[in-house]
Each structure stands twice: as structure tokens, then as C-alpha cells.
Structure 1
Amino acid sequence: MAEETVAEKTWRGMLEGRPDARRGEPAVIAAAYAEPRLRALYPFPSHGALTFHRNTQDPWSNDLPYIVGDAQSCIVYAPLHVGGMLGQSLTPREAAALVVAHLPDDCGAAFEGPWPPQDRRAG
């Protein structure tokens, strides 16, 4: 059996409510986890938002849409460098699906380490 990745451990800790896990809106976390493409990313709940990253250490990729909200109503925002809102007044499931719909085609599982990936760094 393969060892759990950092992203998998992070998701599991949040879903199980472990004391050492970051806290976020449970309904939003569960809805995002239900989406396989989001489940492969590194989740980072903070200040009412659930962000997703292509990597597991600071500095973060910060190039993916993210969700702000609770069990009743969510907003999906475009990546920080783009800005703007992609959708509002959404259920957590609708918000998670909208994030997936706006993921870049080359967005795969989170890699362990800081951003940018080693092979993309200059010299």
C-alpha cells in the first residue's frame, strides 16, 4: 500500500476534525473533498476561505479558484492574480463543481514542496 501524500493527510485530518488540523467550514470541506480533482490538490482553509494549491509548502501556487462561504451560501473567486468572482449564492457542492470547471487543464495532483516546481525555477 502506498504511503499517504501530504495532501491526503491534510484532507484526512480536516475531515476527521483532528486537533492539529486547520479548521474550515465542514460542509465546504466535505463538498470539495467529494470532487476527485480537488481532493488531489492541497487544501488550505483560512479566514473563511478554502483555497487549493498545486504544492504543499509555502510559497503557495495561488493560481487556482477558491471558495468562501458556509453550508448555506458560497462564493467562488478567480485566482488571486486574476481577481473577480466566478459565482455567488452557491451551495457548497455547486461551488466545488464550479472550482473544478475553472481548473487549468494541466492541474494535476499537488506535489510536495514550495512553488514554483523545481523544474520551473530559473537557474
Structure 2
Amino acid sequence: MAEEMVVEKTWRLMLEGHPTARRGEPAVIEAAYAEPRLRALFPFPSHGALTFHRNTQFPWSNDLPFIVGDAQSCIVYAPLGASPRVLGESLTPNEAAALVVAHLPHDCGPAFDGPWPPAESSTN
């Protein structure tokens, strides 16, 4: 399955609330999906957070900012080990998604199919 298909299917199932999809805060998922750069990444909601990854299989990249929150208030965190840790708080879901996009690495392109880190010989 092509990486675009895995990412697109994951987003679609989450947005539709499909029984097999991971559950997350709908307002945060919708706001993130509205951002084209986030929509190209692999979304992973868990424990109140929506994380984004450069790849589609475990282990995850875990090197991108992420959102914790609900329809009323969100916090954007930098990846683990980064400083400052909190990039923004008391944000709407749309503001949080935009802040994540603003802090994505320049070379952060569409997610690739496979585990992290990418294979050295990969041409993706």
C-alpha cells in the first residue's frame, strides 16, 4: 500500500469515527486535518494528545510538535527533549494546528511507509 493511501485512510477513518480508528478529540483532529502539511503526516491520537509522525509504522519518528487539548483549549508541545517544552497554550484547535505547522522542520515532507528511522537507501 502506498504511503499516501495509509495516511489518507488513517485520517479518513478518524474523521468518520470508524470503530477501528484510534479515538481523539474531534475538534483537534478536524483542525489538524485542515492544515495541508499536517494532513500529509501520520496522525496518532493517544492519551489526550494528537501526535504527528514522518512514518506510518512503529517505531514512530517522535520528533515533531504535538497537540494536547479539546475544543475549548489546547497546548502545543515541542518534541521530547526540545526546549522550550511548551510552544503555546490556551489555544483554539485551529491556532494549535497552525502553531504545529509553524514549528515543523523545513524538510518535513509527507510521511513514508515504514518504521523510523528511514532506511539509508530510501529514495522517498
TM bracket, shorter-chain basis: over 0.9
**Structure 2 match to 1:93:** 94
Unaligned runs of 5+ in 1: none
More off after superposition, 81-90 vs 16-25:
81-90
CA RMSD of aligned residues (A): 1.7
**Structure 2 match to 1:14:** 14
Return the offset for 1:5.
1.6
**1:25-45 C-alpha deviation (Å, 9 max, x unpaired):** 000000000000000000000
Asked if 1 retains the 8 angstrom alpha-carbon contact of 2:3 and 2:111, the reply is no
Asked if 2 retains the 8 angstrom alpha-carbon contact of 1:56 and 1:114, the reply is yes
**Structure 2 match to 1:46:** 46
Closer, same or farther in 2 for the Cα pair 1:4/1:100, shift >3 Å? Answer: closer
Q: How does 1:10-89 map to 2 (within 5 A)?
A: 10-82=10-82, 84-89=85-90
Return the offset for 1:89.
0.1
Unaligned runs of 5+ in 2: none
How many Å separate the matches in 2 of 1:86 and 1:3?
A: 29
**1:19-60 C-alpha deviation (Å, 9 max, x unpaired):** 000000000000000000000000000000000000001100
Matched residue count = 120
Asked if 1 retains the 8 angstrom alpha-carbon contact of 2:3 and 2:56, the reply is no
Return the offset for 1:4.
5.1
Closer, same or farther in 2 for the Cα pair 1:61/1:4, shift >3 Å? Answer: closer
The amino acid of 1:100's aligned partner reads V
Identity score, percent: 81
Asked if 2 retains the 8 angstrom alpha-carbon contact of 1:63 and 1:81, the reply is no
How many Å separate the matches in 1 of 2:5 and 2:97?
A: 22
How many Å separate the matches in 1 of 2:67 and 2:30?
A: 12
With structure 2 as the length reference, what TM-score do the two structures score?
A: 0.92
Closer, same or farther in 2 for the Cα pair 1:3/1:107, shift >3 Å? Answer: closer
Asked if 2 retains the 8 angstrom alpha-carbon contact of 1:76 and 1:85, the reply is yes
Return the offset for 1:81.
2.7
